[in-house]
Amino acid sequence: MITDIIIATIGIFLGELYGNIVGGGSLVTQIVLQNILGLDIKTAMALDNAAIIGSGIGMFIAMVRKYKIKWWFFIYVIFQSIGTFFGAYLLIIINETILRIIFITAIILLVIKNLFIKDKKHTEKGFKETPKNIFLLSLSGIFIGFYGGAFVIGDWIIALLILTSGFAFKYHEAIFLLTFTMLFSQPVGAYQYITHGLIDFNFLIPMIIATTIGGIISAIILDKIHSDKLEHFLKYLSVFLVIYLIFGFI
């Protein structure tokens, strides 16, 4: 048991760092949880989703001095938390075969995105804080929360894409909003997983600590050591990781 906990903790820590370089860190985490430790897909996804509460805590600690919490953040939090609640419930009740199909499709699309779709330059316009935009943003939060609560792969990328491309958020402001929201929405999903018996606290607590440390490192240090060669290596590595993960389903 102790060895499994250590392996799971290291896996989600590495997944956190991987995800902040190329996106899709849950790909690494799921390989550790499903293929190496042999957890079933629902338990692995629920544990991953619950443990990234720590990532939100870590990144919030690192960013809060530079960015301001605005009043409408709390409106967005409510809507995304609602989405997370129902998304987590879907993960609990969904047929495992259907879940596997969705999961495999998501990781294949993630690799295609990483390898063949170049990241666009992030907008410098900034989000316009009008009542209409705040309302529409909040509605999008329901979808973001629902997808994040139900599935693991690509949720962070999808959320950033919606905020930066759909609502003209500056990149780091979008990250701060999502990070702040995670402090509230992720516990909602975790509560669902816990009440339905998908979470083992012996795993969850050390994994949250690991993602907290990973979140701090990601927000403060990772951009300083980022290199194109490292990014390209990790993108091609993702192909191998996907093949290995899918092979584990066979």
pLDDT in tens, the chain (250 residues): 899 999 999 999 988 877 766 667 788 899 899 989 999 999 999 999 999 999 889 889 888 888 999 999 999 999 999 999 999 999 999 999 999 898 888 878 877 776 666 655 555 578 999 999 999 999 999 999 999 999 877 788 888 889 988 998 988 899 899 999 999 999 999 999 999 999 999 999 999 999 999 888 877 765 555 555 555 665 666 666 667 666 655 5
Return d(Cα 130, Cα 149) in angstroms, integer.
Answer: 28
> Please, which residues have CB within 8 angstroms of residue 194's CB and are 6 or more apart in sequence?
50
SS3 category, 227 = coil
Return d(Cα 84, Cα 141) in angstroms, integer.
Answer: 9
CA 120, chain centre distance (Å): 20
pTM of the model: 0.85
Return d(Cα 161, Cα 179) in angstroms, integer.
Answer: 15
Per-residue model confidence (pLDDT) at position 237 = 65
Per-residue model confidence (pLDDT) at position 76 = 98
Per-residue model confidence (pLDDT) at position 145 = 96
User: How many helices and strands, by DSSP H and E, does the chain display?
Assistant: 12, 0
Per-residue model confidence (pLDDT) at position 194 = 94
